[in-house]
Structure formats: C-alpha cells, structure tokens
Structure 1
C-alpha cells in the first residue's frame, strides 16, 4: 500500500478524469497524452514505487498493477506508458547503486523524470537478451549510438534506460543497461507513428547519440539477463496484462451501462446476448485470477528463474493478450454494428479492439511459445508455481 495521506484511488481518479477528457482527441490525432502525463507528475504517481524515505509514494507491485488497470479502463496507451515507466523504475530500485540511485530516485519521486525504455533494435525486434549496438569507452565515459525502431513515449521522456552490448563484450548476449538523461543525448526522430491502435503511445523510431558518465550503468556491465529475469520480464508481463485487462473491463462496463440505459429498446432476455456477456466476463475473471496468482509468486518466490515460475509469468502475458482481445471482440458481436463497430459509439469498443490487437504482437506470443516449449522440457514433473 502507498504511504501517501491521499488514497491511491483518489490520485488515480485525478489522472483518469484528465485522460477521459482527451482520449478521443489523442486517439484521433495519434497524439501523446501530455495532459495525463502532467497529472501523473503532479500526483506523484510517477514515483509510485519509490520508497517514502526517498520521497516517493512507497507503493507495491499490487499498487502498480491496480493503477495500470484503472488507467487502462480509460486509455490503454496511457496505461502502457505508465506501466512501462514503472518497469524502468523497478529496475533502478533493484539494481542501480550509489551515485546513480541517489541521482535518479528524488527526480522520479518529484515527477520530474519520466523514463523511456530503449530495448528494440532493427533485425531483432524486442528480444532482450542480445544487443547489436555496443557501448564504447571514451574519455572515461560511455558512448551511446543507438537506433531503436520502437520507443514508447520516447519523444516525451526525460531520461532513458538503454540496452547496449557491454563495452569490450565478446558476445552479443553480454548486454548492459545504461541510463541517459535527455540533455545528455542528441535525439533524432527517425520514423513516424501512424498505427492501427495504441495511437497515443507515440512509439516512433528514435536515434540516440551522446556520451554519459561511467557510473550510469544499472547493475553490472554485461549482466542485463539478471535484470530481465528479476524485473523486466515479471514487471512487463504483469504490467501489460493489467493494462489489457483494464481496457477490456472498461469496454464491458460501458457496454453494460449502454444496455441498462436502453431498456425497452434492447431485448435483455436474449439468450445469445446473455451468453456472450457471460463469456466476456469469464475471460476477464480468468485473466484477473492469473495476474493475481503470478503477482503473489513474483513477490514470494525465492528464485524467479526456475522454469515453473518463468512459465507462469509468460502464461500471464500470452493468456491476457489473447483473452482480453477475444472478450472485446465478442462484445462487438453482442451489441452489433451501431454500438460495437462505429467509432462514435459511447462504448468505444472500436478503439478498445484496435488497441488490444497490439497485445499479441507486443513481444510476440509466438516467440514466448517457443521459449515456453523449451522451458516445458526442463520441468519434467510438471510442478506449478
């Protein structure tokens, strides 16, 4: 639980109110939700995970997942922006040391540091455990020269956590995580952003160049795989899944409100309608239960790298990506063309469906199934986390 005197729900409500006022426009224009980000800064929610002793809200993983879901009910782009920022903050908390930690935490807590994630590369996509671009030493600092085809919110980030091949690395799997402040970089927009969904995430390509002090490495050089196992993987999959769940739950809620408000015009005794509503809700309850179980395991397991835990974490992502999309797709069928397919419907199913179509592609489910097949062979006894 957060340690702020203001309840978390009230802080989140301030952000969702602002987001709701702009969500139509940001989707139409593929515009970053600047106003909602400003409210995330003002409420201190960018520092949700930062301990109270460092000026933050002292929140938990459960708080992050709950907040991500609530933001997703209104705007999935905003929810993903928030969840990915919290993933970066969690990496700093768990693995940054000394001077870097002391520099970053007060800025995050004060809402002055929105962190962007630079992990994608041309040719390898979002695969985290290898890197083509290498950091190099120069004048006691680290040279950064990095192209990334997808950087969520990158044009608006105050700083970046960047994956690069470690200096003097012998192999492409010796990856380092380097922090760079915006004013330490030359940033070139290298591509536009005109997607089907997730339009407000402004995730276009960037090229980043600059030199950063040697202490701005998170964890040990070449040891990013440890950060992936302990932070990036769990926080990404549980955080994304919570965003998707919130988006689908918001869609179902708006559909129910529409149906209840149209008594006399809609046949609420329709068995087909009731069955589709039931199936949609069942899918969401399944995802919710899986997220909650995985959160408990992540918080209590002694070793997150064992196959049964990795399989559970991956199952959260795969299942949520598929089931949340299917839940909304069924709702489109349930309410028909006028309320399910048209852009001006108050149910906003059309936008939710477009946004959720990205879920299986956001670190591809196919890639995760390949990894899970190998992990399954390592767990002969089929024991569950």
Structure 2
C-alpha cells in the first residue's frame, strides 16, 4: 500500500478498534462471535485488504496485514486473529484461484460481502495442513463435499469457506486439494459448543459442511495444496498470528505503563523500585525481540523467494514459536509487576487477566511441539546453518 494510502488504512483500523473495544467485555463474557467488529471490517472494506485494486480491493501488502493485525491485537486478540486468518484465505484466492473463481469471489471479498473461514482441522490429525482423510468425490460433474472439522474459527458467521480435502479419484492422504465453497452451496451444521479459557470471541466451534461445487472451485492444482501451504498458508498464518499476539502483549504493556504513570498509580506504585523497573524492562525486551524477528520474517516473505527452502521455513517457524512463548511471558511478567489487584482481577483496566487467557492459546494454535519436530528435521538438512 502506498504512503498516501497509509492514513486511510489507519482511519479504517481506528474505526474497527473503537467498535471492538465497545463490545469486548460482552464478547469475552458470553463467548460470542464479535459480530459488531466483523460488521466494521465489512464496512471499512478491510476484509479486502489483500485483494488487488483491479478486483476492487485495497491492494495492501503483507506488511500492511502485519501492521493491521498488531493494531487490532492491542484491542482484542480474537478480532485480530479472525482478521488475520481471513486475510490468509483471501491471499490464497488472490494467488492461486482459477480466473473464473477469482472474478466471481474477489470483488465480493473486496466489497466486504464475503468473510472467509478456514477449514483445515480434522479429527485425528488436528491442524496438520498437508494430510486429509475426507475426500472429494465426483457427482454429476460437480465435486461433492462432506467434511467435519472440530475447529473452525468464525465458521458460523462465514460467507465462504476454504476447505482442505483429499483430492478426488485415486489419491493418498497427502494428495490434498484446497476447495472454495460459498455458504449458499453448503449445508452448514454446528455440532458443538465453544467455551474455552481464552480466545472466547473467536467462536471456533465444530462444523459439518456438506454440498457440491464446480470443479474450478479447487484452488491451485488438484492434490497440490502443499505448495499453497508452504508459500501462502503457513507464512501468512505465522506472520498474522505473531502480529496479533505481539499487539495483545504490547497493548497490555501500554495499559500497565499508563496505570503506573497515572494519578491513581502514582499513589500505589514506586516507579523508582528496582524490581518494578526490572520487570518492565524484561517485558519490553521480550516484545522488542518478537518485533525484530517479525520484521525480519516480513522482509523474507516480501522478497518473493521460495519459502519452502529450509532456512526460510526455520525462520517462519521460529517466529511462531518465539512469539507465542515470549508474548505470554511478557504479560506474565507484567502480572508479577503490578500484583493481584491490577494484574489478576477481571475488572482491572490493564486487562492482563484477559491477555493471559488469550495468549495461553498461542502455543497450542498449531502446537509448538509439532513445529519443533519439523524444525529438527529441517535443521538436519541445513548443515551449514544458513540464515534466511
């Protein structure tokens, strides 16, 4: 996005943040999807951030996505994650959709008419992207979908779905296709409740999706989803998620600093305390480290080079693991710094209690243990220890 467009982006984000803040407490308490924030994302056309101008979108960059996710994360991590995951889906359509599909769907995304949900989880495999059990089948010239997913963020409110399935015909579990389906072509059945510790407004409840779509709704080559996973889904997930987590922790630190330096805080906190200063320093250090790693990863993704190469995969995985751990650790440090009243209670203006609950999900969102196993294998392939 050009420098001239940056103020307009900031104004759009400010509008969404204002709406998000107004409904934050209710969405978290009741574990309901932030419909007002989604309406604001539609109204401001931020759902079309990554859609090219030629399709009516804002023509934003990966860097714009990261900045937007961080700003939204300062208000509500659930909204930031919902937005980042939608942008991941729209980027896949922009880069890999059939021309007919792109012309039919991308202008609607740009106009705010289509919020996209990701359907990649499957019973028995979790969120592993590159395998699938449920298979597409040919039915009267259409592709038939019958898919259960235990976790679908915002799926009950989505207008379109990108679904991973085993390719049609003779295919193994590793021959995965990504297929787009409009909600109008599907029967969408909710099959469970959503009552998590944190990320309550993400409303990532289980869904069963059944229906039929034309063959050209396969995104990319049939059975070749691994290419999209390596160059779009994985990188943008790790960038968007990490930015949302960083924003959540940065927002928490900002609120703590405002409390400590404000009139009420001055009566309770000794800002010359070495213990307080050290804890604030450690929290800030953790966030600066995540920010630096995030910016390096953005530069690598923006370079246009093959992201499937081991050093680049290691960097992106390291970003996800580091951000998930260090952002939570920074907020935990802040809880220790301000104590029970201001750090642990629900009604504290610091909102640290909410940040801890939300950020605890970060390591589980495509589990860090799984990424460490992948990184161990990748490290064996890079005997020269080459940095991206």
Q: Normalising by the residue count of structure 2, what TM-score does the alignment of the two structures yield?
A: 0.98
Decide whether the 8 Å contact of 1:44 with 1:109 is kept in 2: yes
Deviations 1:171-209 (A, max 9, x none): 100000000110101111111000000000000000000
| Partner residue of 1:326 out of 322, 325, 329 | 329
CA displacement at 1:299 relative to structure 2: 1.1
Decide whether the 8 Å contact of 1:277 with 1:334 is kept in 2: yes
**Equivalent-residue separation in structure 1 for 2:304 and 2:283 (angstroms):** 32
Equivalent position SS for 2:331: helix
**Equivalent-residue separation in structure 2 for 1:185 and 1:218 (angstroms):** 17
| Partner residue of 2:339 out of 317, 336, 339 | 336
Q: Which runs of 5+ in 1 are unaligned?
A: none
Q: Partner of 1:199 in structure 2?
A: 200
1:282 to 2:285 alignment? yes
Deviations 1:88-143 (A, max 9, x none): 00000110021101111100000000000000000000000000000000010000
Q: Partner of 2:301 in structure 1?
A: 298
Equivalent position SS for 2:100: helix
Q: Partner of 1:182 in structure 2?
A: 183
Equivalent position SS for 1:215: helix
Q: Partner of 1:10 in structure 2?
A: 11
Equivalent position SS for 1:360: coil
**Equivalent-residue separation in structure 2 for 1:187 and 1:287 (angstroms):** 38
**Equivalent-residue separation in structure 2 for 1:6 and 1:184 (angstroms):** 38
1:370 to 2:369 alignment? no
1:51 to 2:45 alignment? no
Decide whether the 8 Å contact of 1:322 with 1:360 is kept in 2: yes
Deviations 1:255-310 (A, max 9, x none): 00110112132111110000000000000000000000011011115211110000
Runs of 4+ in structure 1 displaced over 4 angstroms?
2-6
Decide whether the 8 Å contact of 2:98 with 2:217 is kept in 1: no
Identify the range of structure 1 (310-319 vs 257-266) with the bigger mean alpha-carbon deviation: 257-266
Q: Which runs of 5+ in 2 are unaligned?
A: none
Q: Partner of 1:307 in structure 2?
A: 310
C-alpha RMSD of the superposition: 1.0
Decide whether the 8 Å contact of 1:77 with 1:201 is kept in 2: yes
Q: Partner of 2:114 in structure 1?
A: 113
**Equivalent-residue separation in structure 2 for 1:83 and 1:176 (angstroms):** 22
1:349 to 2:352 alignment? yes
Deviations 1:326-375 (A, max 9, x none): 00011000000000000000000000000000000000000000000000
Q: Normalising by the residue count of structure 1, what TM-score does the alignment of the two structures yield?
A: 0.99
**Equivalent-residue separation in structure 2 for 1:36 and 1:286 (angstroms):** 30
1:216 to 2:217 alignment? yes
Query: Matched residue pairs, number?
Result: 385
**Equivalent-residue separation in structure 2 for 1:169 and 1:201 (angstroms):** 36
Q: Partner of 1:268 in structure 2?
A: 271
Deviations 1:5-54 (A, max 9, x none): 96211110000000000001100000110001000000010000111121
Q: Partner of 2:243 in structure 1?
A: 242
Decide whether the 8 Å contact of 1:169 with 1:222 is kept in 2: no
Equivalent position SS for 2:54: helix
TM alignment of 1:77-226, pairs within 5 A: 77-226=78-227
Decide whether the 8 Å contact of 1:121 with 1:147 is kept in 2: yes
Q: Partner of 1:229 in structure 2?
A: 230
